[in-house]
Structure formats: structure tokens, C-alpha cells
Amino acid sequence: MNDNPRNERGLALGITLIITLVILGSLPSFFGFENGPLKEGTGTILTGIYIQFWGILYLLSYYYSHKCFFFRWLIWTCENISTPQGRKMAFFYFLLAFGLGTLAICSGLGLANQNHETEASISLPPGIEQVENLWYKDPAFYIIIFLFAAYSYYKYRKNNKK
């Protein structure tokens, strides 16, 4: 971290943000959140809000890293730990966290119902029921695969520029 004289200490803001994260992170356990597939309920909605809050913090850290130590730490993770390294990774983390948080909120509200029968699961010929297990029905799985493919393409393009 650079010791820029315009950097503010921001002790009160940083501690407030950390306490808010601890509270938001522990609330779902009091409202029935369980590990495993996302289910309808308040715990899943609160988990989505917690994940979205992390995304918002990364976005704020991009613009206001001079305001408190916690924002500077988030930008430091973007610049030193992330691959690719750079401040703009804060936008990636914002989009990732906000998207996954929105997915969790939708699941908690019952908008992403995963208990429906698809045509593929209905029309399987007898004797090969295990084929159905190859089709993963969780939308987050496809989002993660898409993000991995986009990241791989980005790395490929970056390494092949001349």
C-alpha cells in the first residue's frame, strides 16, 4: 500500500464495515440457512445480501480507496493477489459477487425453482436412468463455467498479443 498523504485513516468507517460484514455473515445461520443446494427461505436471502455486500464493497474500494484502510486492503488484493492483477479486478469481483448474490436471493424467494421436471428427465429410455445425473440443474454451475471460459479466453488473448 502506498503511503499517499491524501489517504485518510478511516478507522471508524473501516471498523463499521467489518462489523457489518460479521453481522451479515452470521445472520443466515439464525434464520435456517443450511449448507448444500439453495432453498427457499430467509437464510438464503440474507446470504445473497451478504454476498452482494461484498461486491458493493469491491466497487466502492475502486472509487474510494483513499477513504479507509479496509478499502485500501480490498484494492491491494486486486492489485497483488488477483490474476490478472490490477485495480480493475474490483469490477470483476463486484460483478461476480453481485451476480451470485442475486442468484441466491432469487433462490431464497423461490424464483429459481430447481424442482421442476425437464423434458430430458421425462423422456429417458428405460435402463439408462443414470444419464439424468449428468445434467446438473443448478444455474450457478453454468454461470461459473461461463466465467471460467471467459477468463480463459481473456488470458489466451492477452498472451497472444504481439
Phi, psi of 160 (to 5 degrees): -100, 5
For residue 31, the model assigns a pLDDT of 85
- Three-state DSSP state, 147: helix
For residue 70, the model assigns a pLDDT of 94
Confidence of residue 159 (pLDDT cuts 50, 70, 90): confident
Our count of domains for the chain comes to 1
Confidence of residue 124 (pLDDT cuts 50, 70, 90): low
Q: 35-51 b/e with 16+ CB inside 10 Å = b?
A: eeebeebebbbbbbbbb
Average pLDDT of the chain is 81
Q: Please report whether residue 82 resides in a domain.
A: yes
Q: Answer with the residue of higher pLDDT: 32 or 98.
A: 98
Rg (CA), the chain: 20
Q: Is 61 in contact with 127 (CB distance < 8 Å)?
A: no
Confidence of residue 144 (pLDDT cuts 50, 70, 90): confident
Distance CA 140, CA 148 (A): 12
Please state which of the ranges 5-19, 33-47, 112-126, 143-157 shows the lowest mean pLDDT: 112-126
Distance CA 10, CA 55 (A): 20
Q: Please report whether residue 130 resides in a domain.
A: no
Q: Please report whether residue 38 resides in a domain.
A: yes
C-alpha cell at 22: 460479521
Domain that holds residue 91: 11-114
Q: What are the pLDDT digits (tens) for 60-74? A: 999 999 999 999 999
Peptide bond into 84 cis (omega under 30): yes
Residue 73, Cβ neighbours under 10 Å: how many? 14
What number is the average pLDDT over the span 97-114?
A: 88
At residue 86, what is the residue type? Answer: G
| Threshold 0.85, pTM exceeds | no
Q: Please report whether residue 110 resides in a domain.
A: yes
Q: Please report whether residue 4 resides in a domain.
A: no
Assess whether pLDDT exceeds 80 at residue 121.
no
Q: Please report whether residue 133 resides in a domain.
A: no
Q: Is 52 in contact with 98 (CB distance < 8 Å)?
A: yes
Confidence of residue 131 (pLDDT cuts 50, 70, 90): very low
Q: What are the pLDDT digits (tens) for 21-48? A: 999 998 888 887 777 788 888 999 999 9
Q: Please report whether residue 54 resides in a domain.
A: yes
Q: Please report whether residue 25 resides in a domain.
A: yes
Q: Is 44 in contact with 113 (CB distance < 8 Å)?
A: no
